[in-house]
Amino acid sequence: MRLPNKAGVIVADGEKYLVLRNHGEGFRIDLRVEETRSEPNPSHSAELGSDRPGRFPRPASSARETVEETDWKRLAKEVFATSLAEHVNRAVKGGDFKKLVIVADARTLGVLRSRFDDRARSAILHEIEGDYTRHTLPDITTMLNRAE
């Protein structure tokens, strides 16, 4: 992939993101970390909220029905991805990024796509599905070089 000088690369999942900037020219990618943020996500949903499904009375019956259980971990990851999308929207609007590459796992990428504004969408050069938040910069660079 040819990545313009000063282009941003956002590498994210539901718990962590990296904001990288390319300092290379042409086909030489030279990524540098500008920002990182991670959200410790408890291993059990019960740590985030009640893990028992709610119940409500069934009309015209003495039986009670259950409400679908809330997946608190998934909800926390969606909130994290939404805050990242808002951060990217502000950065693009403020002129911090003219071009972007987004690298994220499928669920996070879906949330980001739905939350990016038109200006941020137009700055995106490429989207890559994959979880690279725990990879090294050389690994991320190799992945970008192999991307079409």
Position of tokens 């990242």?
A: 84
Q: How far apart are CA 29 and CA 141, in angstroms?
A: 7
Alpha-helix runs per DSSP H in the chain: 72-93, 106-115, 118-123, 137-146
CB atoms within 10 A of CB 143: 16
In which domain, by residue range, is 93 found?
A: 8-40+69-146
Encode the chain (148 residues) as per-residue pLDDT tens digits. Answer: 899 999 999 999 999 999 999 999 878 999 999 999 998 765 655 555 555 656 566 666 666 666 677 788 889 999 999 999 999 999 999 999 999 999 999 999 999 999 999 999 999 999 999 999 999 999 999 999 999 7
Q: How far apart are CA 13 and CA 18, in angstroms?
A: 9
Q: Is residue 2 part of a domain?
A: no
Q: Is residue 59 part of a domain?
A: no
Q: Domains in the chain: how many in total?
A: 1
Q: Is residue 84 part of a domain?
A: yes
Q: Is residue 54 part of a domain?
A: no
Q: Is residue 110 part of a domain?
A: yes
Strands 31-38 and 16-22: antiparallel
Q: How far apart are CA 50 and CA 38, in angstroms?
A: 24
Q: Is residue 12 part of a domain?
A: yes
Q: Is residue 106 part of a domain?
A: yes
Whole-model pTM: value is: 0.81
Closest CA to 18 of 32, 3, 4, 2: 32
Q: How far apart are CA 127 and CA 137, in angstroms?
A: 18
Q: Is residue 96 part of a domain?
A: yes
CB–CB of 20/7 below 8 Å?
Answer: no
Query: What does each C-alpha distance from 32 to 38, 83, 96, 141 come to in angstroms?
Result: 18, 22, 15, 10
| CATH classification at residue 131 | 3.30.420.60
